[in-house]
Amino acid sequence: MLLLLLFAAIAIIAAILVVSMKNIMHCALFLALFLLSVAGIFFCLDADFLGIVQILVYVGGIIVLILFAVMLTSRVSSALLEQTNEQKGLAITACLLLASAITAAAFRTPLVTSFYTADPEGTTRSTGELLLTVYALPFEIASVVLLVALIGAIVLAGKKGE
């Protein structure tokens, strides 16, 4: 529980730094820290597979994508790019509304809080069993979705003579 709170605190601090740092490169790196601490929260809740996915896909993949996007923009040479949000008030209002909506939904939904099945193997094994039996079709459809993403990425980003 203590670890969970620690990771949550790191996540919140990192998230605030993401939107308040002046240097956009530092913002991206704090986003990585934020995603890592979310992975830590997953591990604390015994969702080890989700934690691994979080690290592999978000910290490993999405952050690379974001860093590349930052480095590909031509204005990155001005390191202290002023990061201002002209609609700060609107953004804060929208965030508060969204947060209260999520909180209200979380309190109204009867959440399963006792899924601590004490599986020494963790959740990866049960995930695999479900993927190959009950969710075999979604598993294969996931690969089609990935194929669509792949082709879409090539068509959009891989144009000749950019």
Partner 1 sequence: MNDYLAVFIFIVMALGFTAAGLITAYLVRTSRPSLKKNETYECGEEPVGGAWIQFNMRYYVFALLFVVFDVEAVFLFPWAVVFKSFGVSALVELLVFLGILLAGLLYAWKKGSLQWE
Strand, coil or helix: what is 162?
coil
Strand, coil or helix: what is 11?
helix
Q: Residue count at the site for partner 1 (CB under 8 A)?
A: 52
C-beta of 105 vs 157, nearer to partner 1: 157
C-beta of 15 vs 49, nearer to partner 1: 49
Site string for partner 1, 34-73 (x = CB under 8 A): ------x--xx-x-xx-xxx--xx--xxx-xx--xx-xxx
* Among 139, 119, 143, 142, CA closest to 130: 139
Geometric angle at alpha carbon 159, from 153 and 162, rounded to 5°: 125
* Local structure of residue 46 (DSSP, 8 states): T
Q: Cα separation of 35 and 65, whole Å?
A: 14
State yes or no: residue 5 binds partner 1 (CB under 8 A). no
Contact between 23 and 82 (Cβ < 8 Å): no
Which of these ranges, 83-91, 92-100, 105-113, 130-138, lies near partner 1 under the rule CB under 8 A? 130-138
Residues that bind partner 1 (CB under 8 A): 3, 25, 40, 43-44, 46, 48-49, 51-53, 56-57, 60-62, 64-65, 68-69, 71-74, 76-77, 79, 121-122, 124-125, 127-129, 131-132, 136, 139-140, 142-144, 146-147, 149-151, 153-154, 157-158, 162
